[in-house]
Structure 1
Amino acid sequence: MASRRGRFNPRAGFQRPQEEDPTGGVPQGIIKQARKSGVLNLSNRSLQAVPDTVWRINIDDPSEGKSLAMDAVDERWWEQTDLVKLILASNQLTEISPQISLLGALVTLDLHDNQLSSLPPSLGELQQLQRLNLSHNQLSEIPEEVCQLGHLLFFHVEHNNLRELPQGLSNFIHLEDLDLSHNKMSQLPEDIGSMKKLKALNASNNELTRLPWTMGSLKGLRTLDLTHNKLQELPSEIGYMSSLEQLYLRHNQLTELPVFKTTDSLKELHVGNNRIESLSLEFLQSIPGISVLDLRDNKISTLPEEITCLQKLQRLDLTNNNLSSLPFKLGTLANLKSLILEGNPLRSIRRDIINRGTMGLLKYLRSRIEEPAAGDAQNGSEQSASDPSSAMGASMVVSGKTLVYNDKKATSIPAHLWEPAKEKQVTSVNFSKNLLTQVPEHLILLSRTVVEVNLGSNRISSIPSDFKMMTSLSVLDLRNNSLSTLPAELETLQAMRELVISANRFSEIPPVIYSWTNMENLLVSDNQITEINVSGLLKLTKLSTLDLQNNDIRQVPPELGKMESLRSLQLGGNAFRNPRAAVLAKGTVALLQYLRDKIPT
């Protein structure tokens, strides 16, 4: 008997040869669903080419319509939706067909992370396009036709080989987010100033040697990143960006800083790793609203006393400069929470004073302002003040509206100090750097007036529930103790704006914190926290600073990127692998954007 393989097939001459799969390996079910939803996601499929079925999805009759029974009304293939979102990211595409113009209804086109070296001019026919992502490819130029996309809101071309941008950027009158980073551009076109609605511009990691003066016309710009370029100076017009909140100029060749002429909106200025030697009075007076000032790795030898005009300053980084002294009036910056001075040849301040941390150093500087000129009178005052049992000692400990009894190695607070503190309606209490094992019980006597309490660097292992009576409290420093939890009863502390619980034993951010909706600064570094409760943190809509460094966090939820109020997010020293260190080094804005891009859609 003949084998099955060798049998004669009498119908062989009537059969059509087997056709190639018109979907190019893309499951027909995905194409079918895209016709209904208007969204087609073909990312991460190792595609080397886009099948014609995708380009013609809006014009070809679906195959299911050819055999559809009239009673199958649930299919309704004739009511298909035009494709509005096409994601082809993370494939191996080397080109895009000119047929892309057939997708005239596209609003979003994502081609990032491919191997594209060119784009078809027909891309400019997608007149409805609002989001275009071409990042992480091999593009050396952008066709001028792309400038015809007048409705673009989002345009990313980072990590390519671009040396210049096409003429016609003035058509991007609606553009809000432009990322040109990690290319090879030596200059930006002058018509970039026409993008009146631009909110974020990232041109970092290029070869820029100058900026066009027209950038001063970017009145809506909030974030400008020019890190890692070759800028030696900035046009004075940059000072007219009236909405600018964050300016990143790190790793350039700047010798002086611009004067901001029309605004106090600037909140963060990062100019580390430049060649700045001094800070002019005019510059300092032009940034009264600044909260973060990064001047690390420059050549600053003197800090002018006029820096005290920056009353909203919270973080000042002067690492690796040439400072030998600090102005005493620096201690009067009431909102300064972080002063970083490593790598300076400071000679006028002892190392042990610097090691006390920001609060201790600022207190020392303030004390030098008030220091009597006569040496004998000074010695006498210190001797009396060292004895709180004396009348002068009590008056020095309870001075103005502050009660300061810190760095005494005390296991308790002298009882006779409480009554004078209550009479003077003390608002600030500092018991840090002692040997306290519990919160002083008489502290409750000051609950109506105290707004700031410092119990840092003690041996406190728990906070009593009656601490809930401190309803006026807005700043609480509990760093370097033995705490592992905070009582739920503290939800009454609705005035809380800043909490420091670094260097304790917390395995999670205490849940009660999520009820303090006025929180602005939360420092929780050097604990044992294993995960980030994003749903809780999102309740803190005013949170500006979040420090989670040196914990045991193994995963960073992408949803953390939704916290747009954050101005400083510190995550270094944890166990997670993503985001990588290179992403963390780009700063808070880039980190939040990175996380938002990872949120599943």
Structure 2
Amino acid sequence: MAARRDVQPQTVNGHLELDLSNQGLTSIPEEVFDIADLEILDVSNNKLTSIPGAICRLQKLFRLDAYGNKLTSLPQEIGSLQKLKDLYVQNNNLRELPDGLEALQKLEWLFVRDNKLTKLPTKLFSCLNLVTFDSSNNKLATLPPGVEKLQKLRELRIHGNQLTEVLPGVCALSNIGLLDASNNKLFTLPPGVENLNTLRELYINCNQLSEVPAGVCSMSNLDVLAVGQNPIRRLPSDVRRLTRLKILSVRGCQFEEFPRHVLQLETLEKLYAGGCEFKIVPDEMGNFQHLWFLALEHNLLRTLPSTMSHLHNLREVRLGYNKFDTFPEVLCELPAMEILDIRNNNITSIPTAIHRADKLKDLHVSDNPLTYPPQDVCLQGTGAIMVFLKQEAEKESELFKIFNRLSVKVKRDQWKPIARSLGFNKAEIKAIKESTPDDVPDQVYQTLVRWREKAGEAATIPALEQHLRDLGFHQLVGQLVSTPRTPRRKGHEPVVGAVGGQEEDEPPNSRYPSVTVDRRFPIVDFERLEKQSILGRGGFAYVMKARHLDWRQDVAVKCLLTREFEGSEQEQVYSEARKLNLGSRSDHVISLLGVCLDPNIAIVMPYMENGSLAGLLQDVDVPWALRWRMAHEISLGMTFLHCQNPQIIHCDLKAENVLLDGDFHVKISDFGLSKWKAKSRVVTKTSPGGGTITHAPPEYFADINLAPTTKFDVYSFGVMLSAIVTREQPYALVVNSALISVAVTTGQRPDLRLIPTDREDVTSVSELMQKCWSQNPEDRPEFNDCAKQLQNMFNLEEIRQAIITVDKLKATVNTK
């Protein structure tokens, strides 16, 4: 009766459908087979043991869902359903399939996985319209002949069987995009696999392969390659030819060391390399700019390379079951990290600096002998751990400020008595002295920091005060309370303010008023810079090309036009230097080589041989592939800047401020207008809202008090994309620049009629460009999303050819 009530078909998306799924049925009600017009029948997830032969009466049926039952066989009559396209009978107890299925000439989707099949009908592959075939997780020792006839097949899933070979006919499938033959007994793949040019995903993990089969590295369009859980001892050098590879799994292979050739796969987004018994991760790991998932669990790692701080897209890191005795500090420098699994190691303490990874949502630290944070905090989960560490970091910051203050007041003959009183022996004192032989303040600072590390919670200000009183150094006790601060010592200072203008901790009687120099930044002798040419000039500074006589290399030097200390201009130079210092952590942001103080205030940067992107676009018709790589690298560089804490907002992103190195890689430059997010808006002569007026978004003309956000830069990037595509300056025909602000506010943008319409890649970039310059800031994408859209628009060979072409064109331009 209940069944009778349920057998009322519904019209869904224009098709007559009957849904009897999840009803506990042991048989299909007889009246179902009287619904002659039925097109879709769903009897999945019941308790059916058979399907009646009366199914043949449903001659209009094109989809049958019968998965998740207890079927032991299918009726012969199912082969008479001439319109059947989709047959889903996975997850049953089928031991065989009926003969006659080859009559289903419209069949496109056949799922028979998770059954007990030991063989398949010999004529099964005569279903010439099959698009997807899945017979995974059965007991098949072989496949029927004729697979080469399935020229429409796109997905072949045969994993989890007992296959010892993949039929050679597979190599003739001209449209195959996915081949999953994992969890079988394969020793190799058939000759000719290199012909599978359409293959995007190949899974051959969990077999008996001793090497990656010949031909795999010739699959130029491969996105996913899984070869893990095989007795493979090395990867072929040709693996670097997989220039589009995004996901690689070598989990459980038997490598003696991390496979070096993998490090050349710059497009990788996910890397599974657990269970390989690696002891060392190479420095080149930091080259994976696109990597967002990294699994290195079940290895023998004790440390990680500092270059991993360059992985500013890395969101998920799995390091469980290794040999870490200390928490890898580099993990604190991953701004995008959301998940960190470092369970089952020997870590006793989590550093307070991890709180800077403010996107971290899941921190797994179980089965470590942790003593800090306390166990009661760890048991409360990630949120409680992060709050605790942030509070501890704030306390620690105050402590190091006091150490700073005290270190510059301690005299040379006072340092060793203090060190001995704090528990340091002769060897330890000697080691500290040798690390900074001529710098007493730094020796004192290092002593106090190491005391803090050794004594832990016992290293308190009252305890330090008592040590000083016991030594009779009463005049130093006053430095332990709030007084005007002294310069920060190296080691525990924040990056913001490293080279900066007026700071609270400026020493009295400084030779250079309003200048605070971080000891990590080299001081460059201006007299050793041999001027060669002027590269550009602005309102308060000029940039020259110079030769450093000692380094024997060309550099770019940005100099203040006057030696007189003017607050705002000088502060911009110092602020720019602080941000350039961060550039060394990104491949796509210009870096800082040093600062000059006398006789000129200047910052020294690497010289970029190929000038600016604007200049290149003006002189040369750059091939499209190279344009897309440049756009992609700009989005990566901006992702890096926006991921800093606090965020860096450029505020003047345009082609003139994008420099190009010798290989035409992008370096974002000119941070003179950029802002730490906590700061107010920037004001310049070019625009009431800051930045170049042609690249400023509408909201900054509408509200003079609006502070810049990351969406400012995204809008500018959209305008820049227009210049990259058209090689034209935006609004080039406008005579009065004041009209631009009015036009932009009302929704006008650079002329779309200049965009070519005959290329698919240009159309894709044009769509992204228009999203970036959306009128509503909330509709604009993040730079990380821009990077993802642009990353597949070029390949290595196209770039090589493009660079050759551009070099020739530049040479032609220079000879005119």
TM-score bucket (shorter structure):
0.5 to 0.7
**Are the aligned partners of 2:311 and 2:334 in contact in 1 as well (CA < 8 Å)?**
no
Instruction: Evaluate the alpha carbon distance shift between residue 342 and residue 466 of structure 1 in structure 2; reply closer, same or farther with a 3 A threshold.
Output: closer
C-alpha offsets along residues 510-551 of structure 1, whole Å, 9 cap, x if unaligned?
A: xxxx95763587xxxxxxxxxxxxxxxxxx89989xxxxxxx
Instruction: Evaluate the alpha carbon distance shift between residue 284 and residue 395 of structure 1 in structure 2; reply closer, same or farther with a 3 A threshold.
Output: closer
Q: Which amino acid aligns with 2:253?
A: N
Instruction: After TM superposition, list the pairs within 5 Å mapping 1:452-531 onto structure 2.
Output: 452-454=643-645, 493-494=710-711, 518-519=781-782
**Are the aligned partners of 2:445 and 2:489 in contact in 1 as well (CA < 8 Å)?**
yes
Q: Does 1:278 align with 2:257?
A: yes
Q: Which amino acid aligns with 2:115?
A: N
Question: Where does residue 44 of structure 1 map in the other structure?
Answer: 45
C-alpha offsets along residues 468-514 of structure 1, whole Å, 9 cap, x if unaligned?
A: 97999xxxxxxxxxxxxxxxx999654899xxxxxxxxxxxxxxxx9
**Are the aligned partners of 2:240 and 2:261 in contact in 1 as well (CA < 8 Å)?**
no
**Are the aligned partners of 1:428 and 1:451 in contact in 2 as well (CA < 8 Å)?**
no
Question: Where does residue 549 of structure 1 map in the other structure?
Answer: none
> Matches of 1:356 and 1:85 in 2, distance apart?
52
> Matches of 1:194 and 1:468 in 2, distance apart?
63
Q: Which amino acid aligns with 2:54?
A: T
**Are the aligned partners of 1:106 and 1:129 in contact in 2 as well (CA < 8 Å)?**
yes
**Are the aligned partners of 1:518 and 1:542 in contact in 2 as well (CA < 8 Å)?**
no
Deviation at 1:295, TM superposition (A): 1.5
Question: Where does residue 530 of structure 1 map in the other structure?
Answer: none
Q: Which amino acid aligns with 1:42?
A: V
> Matches of 1:517 and 1:288 in 2, distance apart?
27
C-alpha offsets along residues 204-238 of structure 1, whole Å, 9 cap, x if unaligned?
A: 22232322243322222222223332322111311
Instruction: Evaluate the alpha carbon distance shift between residue 342 and residue 48 of structure 1 in structure 2; reply closer, same or farther with a 3 A threshold.
Output: closer
Instruction: Evaluate the alpha carbon distance shift between residue 120 and residue 358 of structure 1 in structure 2; reply closer, same or farther with a 3 A threshold.
Output: same
Question: Where does residue 110 of structure 2 map in the other structure?
Answer: 132
Q: Which of 90, 93, 117 does residue 68 from structure 2 map onto?
A: 90
**Are the aligned partners of 2:642 and 2:710 in contact in 1 as well (CA < 8 Å)?**
no
Instruction: After TM superposition, list the pairs within 5 Å mapping 1:560-599 onto structure 2.
Output: none
The 10-residue stretch of structure 1 (227-236 or 300-309) with the greater mean CA deviation from structure 2 = 300-309
Deviation at 1:103, TM superposition (A): 0.8
Q: Does 1:376 align with 2:436?
A: yes
C-alpha offsets along residues 557-583 of structure 1, whole Å, 9 cap, x if unaligned?
A: xxxxxxxxxxxxxxxxxxxxxxxxxxx
Q: Which of 244, 251, 259 does residue 265 from structure 1 map onto?
A: 244
**Are the aligned partners of 1:233 and 1:255 in contact in 2 as well (CA < 8 Å)?**
yes
**Are the aligned partners of 2:168 and 2:191 in contact in 1 as well (CA < 8 Å)?**
yes
The 10-residue stretch of structure 1 (383-392 or 287-296) with the greater mean CA deviation from structure 2 = 383-392
Question: Where does residue 642 of structure 2 map in the other structure?
Answer: 451
> Matches of 1:53 and 1:94 in 2, distance apart?
17
> Matches of 2:297 and 2:27 in 1, distance apart?
56
Question: Where does residue 5 of structure 1 map in the other structure?
Answer: none
Q: Which of 329, 334, 338 does residue 353 from structure 1 map onto?
A: 329
> Matches of 1:85 and 1:310 in 2, distance apart?
45
Q: Which of 271, 290, 305 does residue 312 from structure 1 map onto?
A: 290
> Matches of 1:421 and 1:398 in 2, distance apart?
18
Query: What's the secondary structure of 2:68's corresponding residue?
Result: coil
**Are the aligned partners of 2:292 and 2:313 in contact in 1 as well (CA < 8 Å)?**
yes
**Are the aligned partners of 1:31 and 1:40 in contact in 2 as well (CA < 8 Å)?**
no
Q: Which of 191, 205, 211 does residue 189 from structure 2 map onto?
A: 211
Instruction: Evaluate the alpha carbon distance shift between residue 517 and residue 141 of structure 1 in structure 2; reply closer, same or farther with a 3 A threshold.
Output: farther
Instruction: After TM superposition, list the pairs within 5 Å mapping 1:243-262 onto structure 2.
Output: 243-258=221-236, 259-260=238-239, 262=241
Question: TM-score, normalization: structure 2?
Answer: 0.42
> Matches of 1:492 and 1:110 in 2, distance apart?
51
Query: What's the secondary structure of 1:100's corresponding residue?
Result: helix
**Are the aligned partners of 1:403 and 1:429 in contact in 2 as well (CA < 8 Å)?**
no
- Structure 2: gaps (5+ residues): 1-25, 336-352, 357-433, 447-478, 507-513, 517-566, 583-637, 648-676, 683-688, 691-705, 715-776, 790-816
**Are the aligned partners of 2:305 and 2:330 in contact in 1 as well (CA < 8 Å)?**
no
Query: What's the secondary structure of 1:453's corresponding residue?
Result: coil
**Are the aligned partners of 1:113 and 1:135 in contact in 2 as well (CA < 8 Å)?**
yes
Instruction: Evaluate the alpha carbon distance shift between residue 358 and residue 150 of structure 1 in structure 2; reply closer, same or farther with a 3 A threshold.
Output: same
Instruction: Evaluate the alpha carbon distance shift between residue 83 and residue 389 of structure 1 in structure 2; reply closer, same or farther with a 3 A threshold.
Output: same
Deviation at 1:256, TM superposition (A): 1.3
Question: Where does residue 28 of structure 2 map in the other structure?
Answer: 26
Query: What's the secondary structure of 1:178's corresponding residue?
Result: strand
**Are the aligned partners of 2:117 and 2:139 in contact in 1 as well (CA < 8 Å)?**
yes
> Matches of 2:133 and 2:250 in 1, distance apart?
26
Query: What's the secondary structure of 2:644's corresponding residue?
Result: strand
**Over aligned residue pairs, what C-alpha RMSD do you find?**
4.8
Aligned length: 401
> Matches of 1:541 and 1:114 in 2, distance apart?
44
Question: Where does residue 443 of structure 1 map in the other structure?
Answer: none
> Matches of 2:713 and 2:321 in 1, distance apart?
34
Instruction: Evaluate the alpha carbon distance shift between residue 207 and residue 455 of structure 1 in structure 2; reply closer, same or farther with a 3 A threshold.
Output: farther
> Matches of 1:277 and 1:495 in 2, distance apart?
49
Deviation at 1:57, TM superposition (A): 2.6
Question: Where does residue 181 of structure 1 map in the other structure?
Answer: 159
**Are the aligned partners of 2:309 and 2:333 in contact in 1 as well (CA < 8 Å)?**
no
Question: TM-score, normalization: structure 1?
Answer: 0.55
Deviation at 1:328, TM superposition (A): 5.0
Higher helix share: 2
> Matches of 2:103 and 2:203 in 1, distance apart?
31
Instruction: Evaluate the alpha carbon distance shift between residue 320 and residue 110 of structure 1 in structure 2; reply closer, same or farther with a 3 A threshold.
Output: closer
Question: Where does residue 74 of structure 1 map in the other structure?
Answer: none
Query: What's the secondary structure of 2:133's corresponding residue?
Result: strand
- Structure 1: gaps (5+ residues): 1-23, 59-81, 364-373, 406-411, 431-446, 457-464, 473-488, 498-513, 522-539, 545-601
Instruction: Evaluate the alpha carbon distance shift between residue 428 and residue 178 of structure 1 in structure 2; reply closer, same or farther with a 3 A threshold.
Output: farther
Query: What's the secondary structure of 1:36's corresponding residue?
Result: coil
Deviation at 1:299, TM superposition (A): 2.9
Question: Where does residue 178 of structure 2 map in the other structure?
Answer: 200
Bigger radius of gyration: 2
Question: Where does residue 620 of structure 2 map in the other structure?
Answer: none
**Are the aligned partners of 1:338 and 1:358 in contact in 2 as well (CA < 8 Å)?**
no
Instruction: Evaluate the alpha carbon distance shift between residue 219 and residue 515 of structure 1 in structure 2; reply closer, same or farther with a 3 A threshold.
Output: farther
Instruction: Evaluate the alpha carbon distance shift between residue 217 and residue 122 of structure 1 in structure 2; reply closer, same or farther with a 3 A threshold.
Output: same
Q: Which amino acid aligns with 2:173?
A: M
Deviation at 1:107, TM superposition (A): 0.7
> Matches of 1:201 and 1:295 in 2, distance apart?
21
Query: What's the secondary structure of 1:454's corresponding residue?
Result: coil
Instruction: Evaluate the alpha carbon distance shift between residue 318 and residue 136 of structure 1 in structure 2; reply closer, same or farther with a 3 A threshold.
Output: closer
> Matches of 1:247 and 1:495 in 2, distance apart?
39
Question: Where does residue 565 of structure 1 map in the other structure?
Answer: none
Deviation at 1:145, TM superposition (A): 0.7
C-alpha offsets along residues 358-381 of structure 1, whole Å, 9 cap, x if unaligned?
A: 5679x9xxxxxxxxxx94379679
Deviation at 1:267, TM superposition (A): 0.9
C-alpha offsets along residues 321-342 of structure 1, whole Å, 9 cap, x if unaligned?
A: 3446655545445545555555
Q: Which amino acid aligns with 1:230?
A: Q
Deviation at 1:291, TM superposition (A): 2.0
Instruction: Report percent identity of matched pairs.
Output: 22
Query: What's the secondary structure of 1:121's corresponding residue?
Result: coil
> Matches of 2:571 and 2:31 in 1, distance apart?
75
Instruction: Evaluate the alpha carbon distance shift between residue 123 and residue 234 of structure 1 in structure 2; reply closer, same or farther with a 3 A threshold.
Output: same
**Are the aligned partners of 2:289 and 2:311 in contact in 1 as well (CA < 8 Å)?**
yes
> Matches of 1:328 and 1:153 in 2, distance apart?
47
Query: What's the secondary structure of 1:236's corresponding residue?
Result: coil
**Are the aligned partners of 2:52 and 2:75 in contact in 1 as well (CA < 8 Å)?**
no
Q: Which amino acid aligns with 2:329?
A: I
Instruction: Evaluate the alpha carbon distance shift between residue 25 and residue 252 of structure 1 in structure 2; reply closer, same or farther with a 3 A threshold.
Output: closer
